[in-house]
Amino acid sequence: MSVKLLLAGRRGVGGHLFSPFEESQDWLEQVEAWVQEHAGELLESARPGIGPQGAPLLRLRLHPAAGEVSILAATGSRLVISAETSAVGPGYHVFLCDMLKALGDTLGITWAPEDEAAGVGDPTGYFHTGDAGPVEVYMLASLQESVAQVLRMRRLGESGFGLSMRFGHTFEHPGALLTPLGPRDERWLRDAYEDPRRGMDVFPWWKPGLQARTRLSRALCRMWTDVVWRPPLLEEERRLFRDVARLLELAWREDPTLPYPWREWQEVLGYLGIGGTLAEEVHRHAAGASRGPSIGYRRGAVQVALPEGWEIRIPGSLAEAHLQDGTWVARDHRRSVRFVPLEDGAEESLAPTTAERRAMELEHRGERVTGRASLHVEPGECRLTALCSSGRRRALCVVSFDDPDEQDWALGTWRSLDHAAAA
């Protein structure tokens, strides 16, 4: 039972109702500008798009553990906003509702009344009444239901469960349950099922408002799920390191008594080349910190969802990018993996040459995917080129690496290609 907002209304400014497609787009641009101003550092991303029946759509991400907030400018000046908040907690739910009500006041939105039968409204009631009391009740009930389902599946021998984890990446990490704030064990599951308040630590934003703990939890979510633990290769990675360092410093200056991830904080500052008094303080705490497992799912392997239903297993340390031509690339300073779904019109220049096709002496037959590959190995320039098939789907996979000793890794990466839709 996740907590989902589904708000409907009509949009307008100064009594004028927007209905043409272009005006709806203009209106969403006003929404985006307003959110950028009022959400500030909390705005992770804003993505325009097209929704049902071709209506303009704006997707907002306001927390690293949250799904996107969808704002649809439908026909006839209608407005539909949807969001799931139970992944983050009561504080996030209250923040989002308050922000949307303020947006409505500014842009003249007339909200439709709550309609429980149609599922329209805020199930906690907060958006309509301003009473935040029931929000915690709903969040804890959602947690208890999710934990109960995980426990049932574990009794059936299933494993690999995640709670509130973003779609697209499945991390290989020990733990009965993976969450944006780290793994939880079997005992935590049983405790949270018996008394959901004993599982409150899984919510990154429990209390309303921005406090030190809220910022610390936000940084921890990024460190567990997003940070690639090596020197930054891309400017995007450097921005992520800077954001984590900023959140940790802000939280520490407000409340230095919280349980900070000193060792990992020291790593982040080292990657950024930051020194000074704060770095010395972090180093001092890190030297005395416990030697348990380090924070970061991407220190291990990750299963990545690729275009057209394909999947692949790669080291979590590789930086990923989706190119405009449909190509997906993952790389670090010495290795790269390139994937092209050929049915999507990949350019001929990306396909293997005639000589490479003839040299494809390696063969792999998996449960759903078959393929042939050629392997060229010499110091400083190693390359595996593979053509893969799953039913009528075809794809090209090219694995490049510098060290000849990593050819087993290259072969394993190619053979990990799977196609979920063929299951």
Domains and CATH numbers, the chain: 4-130 (3.60.90), 137-287 (no CATH), 300-422 (3.40.1000.10)
Tokens coding 303: 């299963």
Judge if pTM exceeds 0.95: no
Each residue's pLDDT tens digit, 149-188? 999 999 999 888 999 898 889 999 888 999 999 999 999 9
Cβ contact 284:390 at 8 Å: no
Tokens coding 306: 């690729």
With bands split at pLDDT 50, 70 and 90, how would you rate the model's confidence at 96? Answer: very high
Rounded to whole angstroms, the Cα distance separating 378 from 397 reads 19
What rounded mean pLDDT belongs to the chain?
90
Top pLDDT among 72 and 345 is at 72
CA distances to 124, 133, 282, 374 from 363, rounded to whole Å, are: 56, 61, 51, 9
Instruction: Report CA 170 to chain centroid distance, whole Å.
Output: 10
Rounded to whole angstroms, the Cα distance separating 323 from 167 reads 19
Q: Is pLDDT of 28 > 70?
A: yes
Each residue's pLDDT tens digit, 204-244? 999 999 999 999 999 999 999 999 999 999 999 999 999 99
Helix (H) or strand (E) holding 129: helix 126-129
Strands (E), 91-233: 110-111, 161-162, 169-171, 177-179, 182-184
pLDDT at 308: 87
Q: Furthest-apart CA pair in the chain: how many Å?
A: 71
- The 10 Å CB-count burial string (b at 16+, else e) for 112-140 is bebeeeeebbbbbbbbeeeebeebbebbb
pLDDT average, residue stretch 285-314: 93
Other CB atoms within 10 A of residue 391 CB: 10
